[in-house]
Every structure is written in C-alpha cells, then in structure tokens.
C-alpha cells in the first residue's frame, strides 16, 4: 500500500509517519519508483505499536526507539528487553540518598526475601518501588509499606500469572518479545484504570453521593 493508505488505516498523519521512518521507529517502505514507497501489513502493525507506546504508555519517541531496538535484536535476551522497557517507563524519583530511601531499600529487599521473588534488588522495578515507598515516607505514610505492601504484591503476583498464561497461549517467538512490551506498557494502563474504578466503586459504597462529612440523609 502507499503511505496515504497506511495513514488512512492507522489514523497517523503522513508527515508523522515520515518522521517515524527518519527516527528509525518504522522501517522504510520498499521503493517502487524514485518518489514512491510501498508499505505492507508489517508496517501497519509496527505503526500501531508505536502509537500505543506513545499515546497510552506515554513514552517519548526516543524511548520507543530504544525499546523497539531491543525487540528487533534477536540476540537480546527477553529479560533485557523487559528491562529496557521498564527502565524507560519507571517513574524516575530522584536518587538523592537520604534516610528514607535507605530504609525503603531495606523494605524492598525484605519484600523480595519474604515472597521468594527472583528479582535483583537493584533492578529498575525494585529501585522504582524503593523510590515510591521513600516518597510515601516523606509525606508521612511510611506505615503504608508495613500495612498494605504485601497485599499489593499478592495482587501483582496474581496479575503476573494471568499475564504469563496469556502470553503462553498466544506467543510465537517474535510475538513474545512484542507482547512483553505491549503487556508492560498497556497492561499497566489497564491495571491503573481498573484500580481507579475499584476505588471509585468502594468509595461510592462508603460515601454514597454525599460529600464526606455531610452526615446521613
């Protein structure tokens, strides 16, 4: 298909498609004449993936390039691809050393130990967790880790098992890498949205439609 058709199918503007090709996010089309390139379904699929990572995942064009570079490199082990995506997507809480961060690191190490997780304590996800727990401590909610963290971990395990089962049912070797990226980024958006909906539901049950503190009708 021509670039106009690719644009129509995906809803991505032609100049944007050309920009992605220049930045290496999308392979160039096959030249059919000096001024004309032809694109196929693999371009369409890749373009949709790029848009999902940018629009839903909030990744920068540069970050998408790094993640796709990892996906496209068959020599790169799966966990490194995941690592590349994770590094890009993880909240970057300042690494300023303070007592809260040191304490949070110990909490994370204890969590890993307690649950028997095969996760290096210095992996991006573990460091991001320590950063988030340290931020909670700094705003006066250090007891969160003690009271709630294991229930988060249990929910995360449940989700991870469902994810892996889904991947196992659906994945060829090439699909597998792509799905890790999609699952990491889009799955997170799904989980964040369902958690908010569950909050909204719980809150509606507790407070009804009354403002808090308004008293009973």
Of the candidate spans 21-29, 32-40, 61-69, 75-83, the one that interacts with a copy of itself by CB under 8 A turns out to be 75-83
Q: Are 125 and 119 in contact (CB under 8 A)?
A: yes
Shortest spacing between CB 28 and a copy of itself, in angstroms: 21
- For position 11 contacting a copy of itself by CB under 8 A, the verdict is yes
- For position 15 contacting a copy of itself by CB under 8 A, the verdict is no
Among 76, 103, 109, 142, binds a copy of itself (CB under 8 A): 76
- For position 58 contacting a copy of itself by CB under 8 A, the verdict is yes
Of the candidate spans 15-23, 26-34, 64-72, 180-188, the one that interacts with a copy of itself by CB under 8 A turns out to be 180-188
- For position 8 contacting a copy of itself by CB under 8 A, the verdict is no
- For position 190 contacting a copy of itself by CB under 8 A, the verdict is yes
Neighbours of 163 (CB within 10 A): 16
Residue with tokens 């994810």: 163
HSE-CB at 170 with a 13 A cutoff on CA atoms is 13
Q: Is 32 exposed, middle or buried (0-12, 13-18, 19+ CB in 10 A)?
A: exposed
- For position 61 contacting a copy of itself by CB under 8 A, the verdict is no
What is d(CA 55, CA 44) in angstroms, rounded to the nearest whole number?
16
- For position 215 contacting a copy of itself by CB under 8 A, the verdict is no
Cα 135 to the center of its chain, rounded Å: 20
């Amino acid at each position: 298909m021509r670039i106009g058709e690719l644009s129509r199918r995906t809803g991505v503007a032609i100049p944007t498609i050309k920009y992605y090709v220049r930045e290496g996010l999308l392979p160039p089309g096959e030249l059919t004449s000096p001024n004309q390139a032809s694109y196929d379904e693999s371009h369409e699929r890749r373009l949709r993936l790029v848009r999902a990572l940018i629009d839903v995942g909030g990744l920068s064009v540069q970050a998408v390039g790094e993640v796709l570079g990892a996906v496209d490199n068959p020599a790169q082990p799966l966990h490194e691809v995941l690592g590349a995506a994770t590094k890009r997507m993880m909240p970057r809480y300042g690494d300023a050393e303070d007592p809260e961060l040191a304490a949070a690191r110990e909490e994370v190490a204890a969590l890993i130990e307690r649950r028997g997780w095969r996760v290096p304590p210095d992996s991006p996800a573990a460091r991001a967790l320590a950063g988030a727990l340290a931020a909670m401590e700094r705003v006066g909610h250090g007891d969160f880790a003690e009271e709630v963290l294991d229930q988060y971990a249990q929910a995360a395990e449940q989700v991870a098992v469902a994810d892996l089962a889904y991947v196992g049912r659906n994945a060829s070797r090439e699909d597998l890498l792509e799905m890790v990226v999609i699952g990491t980024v889009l799955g997170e958006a799904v989980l964040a949205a369902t958690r908010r909906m569950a909050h909204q539901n719980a809150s509606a049950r507790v407070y009804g439609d009354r403002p808090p503190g308004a008293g009973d009708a």
